[in-house]
Amino acid sequence: MSLDDRKLQVLRAVVESYVQTAEPVSSRMIARRYGLGVSPATIRNEMSDLEELGFLEQPHTSAGRVPSDKGYRLYVDRLMQAAEVADDDVRSLRQAWRRAEQLESLLHVTAHALSQVTNYLSVVFGPSMRASSFHSLYMHLISEERAILVVLNNLGLVQNAMVEVPEGSKEEDLRAISLVLTSHLAGLPMEKAIHAIRELDSEFRQYRIVLEQVFEILKRYAREDSDRGVYLDGALNMMQQPEFQDIEKLRLVLSCLENEDRLAKIFGDSSPDSVSIAIGSENKISDIKDCSVVWATFMVGGQEAGVVGVLGPRRMDYGRVVSLVDLAKSQLPRLVVKNVG
């Protein structure tokens, strides 16, 4: 059974009506509201066909129908029209961004503003050392045998560590090492920077033990995402959605949000060139099978700088949310550079 234009029109009407009302959609409602030029009986037959094909479902307690995951997916892929971001939403986001004075506050206000304008839950992942480039480092002597190492990446993320230094080390020696390392490593991806340190062994034989420690510390930073910031806002918005009046459903969703590894899995594997959408059972975490997720990776200088996303019910206003996430994705690179600089 093929999906002709009328079936597609009916499916679009069911999705858009259900998004607005959260109530199962009847053929009479579609006939009254959408003016398809056919009778309720004809629409009812089309809805029955769509149900048989798996695009609609019929709740046991209702004569109306609701979209299935398959129906939402067809709607998103073929029928959804990109919504122009409303002036009020643009204004809210820009006002939030103007309040940001550094990278951390920028990501925090972005998550808060997106949750406010969508009335869903929003998540922003900040940059990680692994996905960044080396910017600079310096070492400062704090005792006869120890120094503090400070490493900065190109996205403004700072990491600190303690290193042991040879007895009798001088502050000016550590400053000289820091300058040489910075000049050799600046701009290199972190993975390449750690190996480039090896080329400097001959220049600092006396401080080889220090270079070994710097090598190990950068290697650890380059392979960990544990220190990237995760900014989440709007969890209480989920309680206002009719789908989550069931406390057990809500508990399952909220428990996922407490675990950074699960969050990273939910909002992972996205292309920097587009906005990704996972609907219901498409999610990698089964506990959020009643949710949909819209997210995007934003880039700075050709490298992944973070992820911005929205989580809400499957009955999501997809066109509007996609446009808002895309707006944030397009604006954050410039704002990250501004706040890092």
Long-range contact set of residues 167-175: C-beta below 8 Å, sequence gap at least 24: 168/144, 169/141, 169/144, 169/145, 169/207, 170/141, 171/140, 171/141, 173/207, 174/138, 174/139, 174/140, 174/141, 174/147, 174/210, 175/138, 175/139
Question: In this structure, which amino acid lies at residue 281?
Answer: S
What pLDDT does 227 receive? 57
Tens-place pLDDT, residues 266-321: 998 777 788 999 999 999 999 999 999 999 999 887 778 889 999 999 999 999 99
What pLDDT does 202 receive? 63
**What percent of the chain has a predicted confidence (pLDDT) above 90?**
50
What pLDDT does 41 receive? 94
Question: In this structure, which amino acid lies at residue 274?
Answer: S
Q: What fold does the segment set 134-222 form as a domain?
A: Enolase-like; domain 1 (3.30.390)
> Is the CB of residue 136 less than 8 Å from the CB of residue 125?
no
Average pLDDT over residues 218-229: 68
Give the Cα separation of 58 and 231 in Å (integer): 37
Give the Cα separation of 301 and 169 in Å (integer): 37
pLDDT at 61 over 60: yes
pLDDT at 136 over 80: yes
- List, edge to edge, every strand of the sheet that includes 121-125: 230-233, 121-125, 303-313, 291-300, 276-279
Residue 324 exposure: Cα atoms within 13 Å on the Cβ side:
31
Residue 67 exposure: Cα atoms within 13 Å on the Cβ side:
29
What does the mean pLDDT of the chain come to?
Answer: 88
Average pLDDT over residues 84-107: 91
**Of 237 and 62, the one with more pLDDT:** 237
CATH number of 87-127+228-340: 3.30.450.40
Say how many C-beta atoms besides its own lie within 10 A of residue 147's C-beta.
22
**Of 165 and 14, the one with more pLDDT:** 14
Is residue 254 packed enough to be buried (19+ CB in 10 Å), middle (13-18) or exposed (0-12)?
middle
Q: Give ranges for CATH 3.30.390.60 in the chain.
A: 134-222
Give the Cα separation of 185 and 195 in Å (integer): 10
- The single residue listed with the structure tokens 């109306």 is 64
What pLDDT does 111 receive? 96
Q: Which residues pair with 223 in a beta bridge?
A: none
> Is the CB of residue 336 less than 8 Å from the CB of residue 155?
yes
Q: What fold does the segment set 5-79 form as a domain?
A: Arc Repressor Mutant, subunit A (1.10.10)
Give the Cα separation of 187 and 132 in Å (integer): 9
Q: Give ranges for CATH 3.30.450.40 in the chain.
A: 87-127+228-340
